[in-house]
Amino acid sequence: MTQLSHPAQTLLENLDGFRVEIDIERERADIVLQRPPYNIIAMPQRDQLRLVFESLDENPAVRVIVLRAEGEHFSSGGDIKGFLAASPEHVSKLAWNIAAPARCTKPVIAANRGYCFGVGFEISLACDFRIVTETTRYALPEQKLGQIPGSGGSARLQKMVGIT
């Protein structure tokens, strides 16, 4: 891995549930979710993901960013216990953090397979492209709990597919 040119450089030592790989020859950066088997996305991880997307977007050695995951599933969603324990201030930043790929000036590709639920689906929707396998399953299960997806997924999905 090479260094990121961003004030969050020291963050790389304490990434929560993911790693960053930069391939200088291919001018590609991979953000790899690494909390298998379901790659649950914890609350602190959302802030860190935003900072890393911003860092990679500013890095002149990177021309494309790929978001992928270890294991059989992209992400089964967020850590519900962490969400319930989060402060209102932190909850108010969820949509901003998860929309980080959409704000990148470089193309961002989500490589989805297996479960791509909740916040995993929402961050995938914020990417420019989604590559899927036959095993990929998308869902916003918050709706079954009487909740509106909190990171902008339902609005982004409606904008992409329209109202049916």
Q: Which amino acids are annotated catalytic?
A: 122, 142
Helices 118-125, 153-161: crossing angle, 10 deg rounding: 50
The length of the chain is: 164
Backbone angles phi, psi at 12, to 5 degrees: -60, -25
Question: How buried is 4 (Cβ within 10 angstroms: 0-12 exposed, 13-18 middle, 19+ buried)?
Answer: buried
140: left (phi over 0), alpha (psi -120 to 50) or beta: beta
DSSP-assigned letter for residue 102? H
The two counts, helices (H) then strands (E), for the chain are 7, 7
Q: Which residues neighbour 23 within 8 Å (Cβ) at sequence distance 6 or greater?
A: 29, 30
